[in-house]
Copies of this chain bind each other. A is one copy, B any other.
């Protein structure tokens, strides 16, 4: 369950986030020591997060990547990713509307990371709450489907302002929608400090090459830093 910013006393919020940040720092160190580029994958319910990860799993031939899949209930997404050929575990949050660093940390004890270069952490489908909780990721990727309309970046600015990359998905549906792709890109440019956008269709494979190139470039940059 979540609460508004207004009625929860500030010191409790601060304490919760400070504890989360400590665990996130621990997770981040764990990933960096192993050369793992960890991605916090966020987006609305049904925006296509799991479909992107299935396409990614196929593109990598299932090698070198693993995933944690967050949802309130069911392990459907983790099972889909296992069927796509990668190691994957579900994190079921019950009532919680987002993952936190402790949930990720706990699940890491059950996930074999040997030989893994990329860990995808698929957050609960939600364009608000997940943006606030650091999980220890190297990058935030927001998945936005063209079926969601043009003004979501303006309506949910915090999520998009924190995105290192936005994947605009389901572009194969554009011929059947009134959606204006330029309007989506314009809205993203207005809220992202450094707009990076890849147009993608997981179903038709469009954009997957650009997405893999982005991942590879980011992981290389991480290794130079380490």
Binding site for B on A (CB under 8 A): 1-9, 12-13, 15-16, 19, 44-46, 71-74, 76, 93-98, 100, 124-129, 132, 145, 147-149, 151-152, 154-158, 170, 173, 176-178, 203
> Of B15, B44, B154, which is within 8 A of A125 by CB?
B44
Whole-angstrom distance between the alpha carbons of A53 and B127 in the complex? 22
Complex partner residue of A3 from B16, B145, B158, CB under 8 angstroms = B16
Question: Do A149 and B46 touch across chains, with their CB atoms under 8 A apart?
Answer: yes
Say yes or no: A45 contacts B156, CB within 8 Å: yes
B129 touches A2 (CB 8 A): yes
Residues of B within 8 A of A95 (CB): 5, 128, 132, 158
A76 to B151, Cβ gap below 8 A?
Answer: yes
- Nearest CB of chain B from residue A149's CB, rounded to whole Å: 5
**Are A5 and B46 in contact (CB-based, < 8 A)?**
no
Bound complex: CA of A108 vs CA of B152, how far in Å? Answer: 26
Q: Which residue of B lies closest to A95 (CB)?
A: B5
The minimal Cβ–Cβ distance linking A100 to chain B, given in whole angstroms, is 6
Tell me whether A127 and B19 are in contact (CB under 8 A): no
Name which of A1, A93, A148, A154 has the most chain B CB atoms within 10 A of its CB: A1
Task: Out of B45, B94, B178, name the residue touching A148 (CB < 8 Å).
Answer: B45
Please judge, given known A-B contacts A46-B44, A97-B129, whether A157 and B73 are in contact too, CB under 8 Å: yes
